[in-house]
């Protein structure tokens, strides 16, 4: 059963709502929902509004937090997070250092895979939002540190950086990685990409850079085609120690 304060995804009638169980009533254009009654339900059960609209109650997953959780800025897109996971081979044995936490979305994805995630956010208000989102995601293996990642110590299998990059960040990441570990850097601009590539080239045995591109396919009565929306999001540098 859902616990008091637990995040719940309600889906029905062409609508989706991100609510908390046991927090009174919630008004929608499909009727009023009694959120206290969610405490008697389990994922997959149905809750009905006062006007008779049924909603399925689901436990949210990482993509739901990307779409609906509180934000302190623009998080990495799921496709870019997926590339970071794939190129690094992230798995359940890994100790991961993440920096540039923002809203904590990447840390939530990583926390569902890795053994442990330590994520650094230098801005206190962003760190507070990330802690709340990570707690809502029910992840106990993710720790938010409010501080500068350049002060981080320890040894990690993967270091992931999503921040304004300097050569010092790359050098420090190299000292934190175990042999064979991966540095993954997400950069929105070519200038930052080149900083990472130039700094990593003299330290790491393998350095690859990728442009992150995705095109959604749209289908209408007239025909099917790739979406005309912008498909570029940024650049991902993958370096192995």
Instruction: Tell me the CATH number of domain 7-58, given options 3.40.50.1000, 3.30.420.40, 3.40.50.300, 3.10.330.20.
Output: 3.10.330.20
Radius of gyration of the chain from its Cα atoms, rounded to whole angstroms: 20
Mean of pLDDT values over 66-82? 93
14-73 pLDDT per residue, tens: 999 999 999 999 999 989 999 999 999 999 999 999 999 999 999 999 999 999 999 988
If phi over 0 gives left and psi between -120 and 50 gives alpha, with beta otherwise, what is residue 17? beta
Most confident of 23-37, 71-85, 105-119: 105-119
Share of the chain above pLDDT 70, in %: 100
Q: Check: CB of residue 71 under 8 Å from CB of residue 129.
A: yes
Q: In which residue ranges of the chain is CATH 3.40.50.150 found?
A: 64-240
Q: Check: CB of residue 238 under 8 Å from CB of residue 90.
A: no
Q: In which residue ranges of the chain is CATH 3.10.330.20 found?
A: 7-58
Question: What pLDDT is stored for residue 73 in this prediction?
Answer: 82
Question: Which CATH class name applies to 64-240?
Answer: alpha beta
Closest among 129, 166, 160, 165 to 146, alpha carbons compared: 129
132-156 pLDDT per residue, tens: 999 999 999 999 999 999 999 999 9
Residue with tokens 């707690």: 135
Average pLDDT for the chain: 96
Cα(206)–Cα(33) distance, rounded to whole angstroms? Answer: 54
Structure tokens at 19: 């609510």
pLDDT category of residue 230 using cuts at 50, 70 and 90: confident
């Amino acid at each position: 059963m859902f616990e008091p304060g637990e995040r719940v995804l309600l889906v029905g009638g062409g609508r989706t709502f991100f609510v908390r169980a046991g927090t009174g009533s919630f008004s929608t254009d499909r009727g009023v929902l009694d959120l206290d009654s969610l405490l008697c339900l389990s994922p997959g059960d149905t809750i009905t509004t006062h006007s008779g609209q049924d909603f399925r109650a689901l436990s949210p997953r990482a993509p739901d937090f990307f779409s609906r959780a509180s934000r302190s800025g623009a998080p990495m897109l799921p496709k870019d997070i997926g590339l970071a996971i794939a190129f690094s081979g992230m798995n359940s044995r890994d100790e991961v250092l993440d920096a540039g936490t923002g809203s904590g979305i990447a840390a939530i994805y990583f926390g569902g895979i890795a053994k442990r995630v330590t994520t650094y956010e230098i801005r206190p208000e962003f760190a507070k939002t990330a802690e709340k989102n990570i707690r809502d995601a029910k992840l106990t293996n993710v720790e938010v540190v409010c501080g500068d990642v350049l002060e981080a110590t320890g040894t990690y299998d993967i270091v992931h950086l999503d921040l304004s990059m300097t050569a010092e960040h790359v050098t420090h990441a190299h000292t934190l990685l175990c042999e064979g570990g991966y540095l993954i850097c997400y950069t929105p601009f070519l200038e930052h990409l080149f900083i990472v590539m130039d700094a990593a080239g003299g330290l790491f045995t393998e350095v690859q850079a990728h442009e992150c591109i995705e095109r959604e396919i749209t289908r209408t009565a007239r025909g099917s085609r790739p979406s005309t929306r912008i498909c570029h999001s940024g650049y991902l540098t993958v370096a192995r120690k």
